[in-house]
Structure formats: structure tokens, C-alpha cells
């Protein structure tokens, strides 16, 4: 398989609004990508197209080597994991943590089939891998935001996906919960059977060194794509944010600070 994802000249219109315009993007196997963009940049729309939930107005889509229009999307989605806050809100709050994880095999909200012993063993292994085994027996609603995210990632891994999309997984987490989750994601990416990862975020400091490629979306268009070292530079990001920024590199993670004074920032508000 040459490309895990191959988007060619993708445009998406909804009524009179053009939400995506001329998107060209290719992801090779074992390339982990960060997708960076502000609200309204088109990130969620593009991911919905990748998952086959919406159809582009123009362009060609191929995922996991299968051209859309020539493949059963319901079957293909079994090889794609998508972790998002919207899913977190749909799960049953009184389900036990391990039930949340094992239900990922069936891609259901709740358990309607009886998992076998191997299913439970795999669920336990994944909880151990994501460092959330201590949650076994706990109701989902009693878990913290960071703990819920770890459970959702373990849940997504139950079906052994080839592609795993982490859609703003650190949203709403405090500093220490964020770093704990990022450490678990880092360990996952380095495992021999790890899926290709897409990490969606607003914040450059969340982009771990394992994500060596970055796609920058702005107002429905690709602003830049390529290796992180070439894309997340001070000139590039200043142009991307349409405001001068300072870029700091600490332990191979990029931190972005505005160059304006506090007075200038308040004036812009």
C-alpha cells in the first residue's frame, strides 16, 4: 500500500459555503501526522470525509488503499479508529471502564454481545498499555477527563485499526493530565504494532517528536504540509497565524508565543 490516505483536489460545499478547497494530502504507512488548525479551519470536515461520513463535492478519496466509491465504507471503518469528545459524551455513564474498552470490538455504544475470554484479555492488555488498568471496575462517569480519554483510545484499539485519529484528545485537561496522556500516546506510537496516528490539535506544544509530519489547515485550505522541522518554523507559523509569533523548541516540542505586547493583544480584542 503506497498511501494510508490519499486526498486529491478535495472540495466540499454545504449550501453556499465552501468549507474545503483544493485539499491535496497524502499519508504513507507508519507516518504519524499532526493536523493543526484554528476553529473553522476545516479539520473536522476533512476527517469526516476520510471516514466516509460525508462525500466531497469534488475530488478523489482513497483510504487504506481503497478508493471511495469502490469499497464498502462500513467495513472499511472497522480499520479506522476515531477518538473524539463527541464520542465520549455518547457512552453510557454507568458502564464499567472495562466494558467501555471491550465494546470497541463491536463499535457499539454499550455491550449487546457477550465478549469471549480473549476479548476480555485484550481489553485488559490495552488498559495496561494505556496506563489505565487501575480504572477496572470503576463506572465511566467517575473517571476524570484524562482517564476517559485513555479508555477511549484503548477502546479504539480493540478492533486493531490500521489508522487511529486522535481528535483534540487533550482538550479540557489540566497540565499534568495532559502530559500523562501524551506520554501514553508516545508509548503507543512506539509499539511495533502501532497504527498510523493522526493527532488533531490547536496547540503546537502537544505535538510530540513521534509526529514528524504536520498538516496546517487555514480557512478550508492547506496552508502547509511536510516535515515538522520545515513546517513549524517561526516565519511559517507567523504567516499561518497572521500575527508575529516566537517559536521555542524544548525537548523537540514546539512552543509558540505571541510577539505582541500585552497592550497590543488587549487592543486586538
Domain harbouring 141, CATH code: 3.40.50.300
Read off the pLDDT band of 215 (50, 70, 90): very high
Angle at 198 between CA 195 and CA 199, to 5 degrees: 125
CB–CB of 113/105 below 8 Å?
A: no
Is residue 157 over pLDDT 80?
A: yes
Q: Are residues 65 and 53 in the same domain?
A: yes
Read off the pLDDT band of 265 (50, 70, 90): low
Q: What is the pLDDT of residue 27?
A: 97
Q: Are residues 129 and 257 in the same domain?
A: no
Q: Are residues 129 and 238 in the same domain?
A: no
Q: Are residues 239 and 197 in the same domain?
A: no
Using CB atoms within 10 Å of the CB of residue 69, give its burial: 0 to 12 exposed, 13 to 18 middle, 19+ buried: exposed
Q: Are residues 127 and 178 in the same domain?
A: yes
Total domains present in the chain:
2
In the predicted model, what is the mean pLDDT of residues 242-250? 92
Domain assignment of residue 266, given as a range? 234-269
Read off the pLDDT band of 269 (50, 70, 90): low
Q: Are residues 86 and 30 in the same domain?
A: yes
In the predicted model, what is the mean pLDDT of residues 162-176? 91
Q: Are residues 219 and 173 in the same domain?
A: yes
Is residue 252 over pLDDT 60?
A: yes
pTM listed for this prediction: 0.88
Q: Are residues 260 and 141 in the same domain?
A: no
Q: Are residues 161 and 249 in the same domain?
A: no
Average pLDDT of the residues of the chain: 89
Q: What is the C-alpha separation between 103 and 130, in angstroms, rounded?
A: 16
Q: Are residues 196 and 244 in the same domain?
A: no
Q: What is the pLDDT of residue 6?
A: 97
Q: Are residues 154 and 265 in the same domain?
A: no
Read off the pLDDT band of 3 (50, 70, 90): very high
Q: How many CA atoms lie within 13 A of 140 on its CB side?
A: 24
In the predicted model, what is the mean pLDDT of residues 9-36? 94
Amino acid at each position: 500500500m503506497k498511501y494510508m490516505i490519499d486526498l486529491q483536489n478535495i472540495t466540499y460545499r454545504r449550501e453556499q459555503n465552501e468549507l474545503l478547497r483544493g485539499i491535496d494530502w497524502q499519508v504513507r504507512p507508519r507516518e504519524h501526522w499532526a493536523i493543526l488548525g484554528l476553529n473553522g479551519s476545516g479539520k473536522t470536515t476533512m476527517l469526516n470525509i476520510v471516514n466516509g461520513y460525508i462525500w466531497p463535492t469534488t475530488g478523489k478519496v482513497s483510504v487504506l488503499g481503497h478508493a471511495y466509491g469502490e469499497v464498502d465504507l462500513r467495513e472499511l471503518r472497522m480499520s479506522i479508529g476515531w477518538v473524539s469528545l463527541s464520542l465520549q459524551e455518547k457512552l453510557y455513564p454507568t458502564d464499567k471502564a472495562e466494558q467501555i474498552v471491550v465494546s470497541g470490538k463491536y463499535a457499539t455504544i454499550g455491550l449487546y454481545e457477550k465478549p469471549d475470554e480473549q476479548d476480555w484479555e485484550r481489553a485488559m492488555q490495552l488498559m495496561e498499555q494505556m496506563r489505565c488498568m487501575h480504572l477496572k471496575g470503576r463506572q465511566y462517569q467517575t473517571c476524570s477527563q484524562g482517564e476517559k480519554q485513555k479508555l477511549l483510545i484503548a477502546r479504539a484499539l480493540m478492533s486493531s485499526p490500521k489508522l487511529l485519529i486522535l481528535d483534540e484528545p487533550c482538550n479540557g485537561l489540566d497540565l499534568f493530565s495532559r502530559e500523562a496522556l501524551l506520554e501514553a500516546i508516545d508509548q503507543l506510537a512506539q509499539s511495533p504494532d502501532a497504527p498510523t496516528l493522526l493527532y488533531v490539535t490547536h496547540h503546537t506544544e502537544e505535538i510530540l517528536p513521534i509526529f514528524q509530519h504536520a498538516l496546517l489547515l487555514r480557512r478550508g485550505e492547506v496552508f502547509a504540509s511536510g516535515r515538522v522541522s520545515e513546517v513549524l518554523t517561526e516565519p511559517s507559523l507567523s504567516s499561518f497565524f497572521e500575527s508575529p509569533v516566537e517559536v521555542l523548541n524544548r525537548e523537540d516540542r514546539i512552543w509558540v508565543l505571541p510577539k505582541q505586547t500585552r497592550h497590543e493583544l488587549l487592543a486586538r480584542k
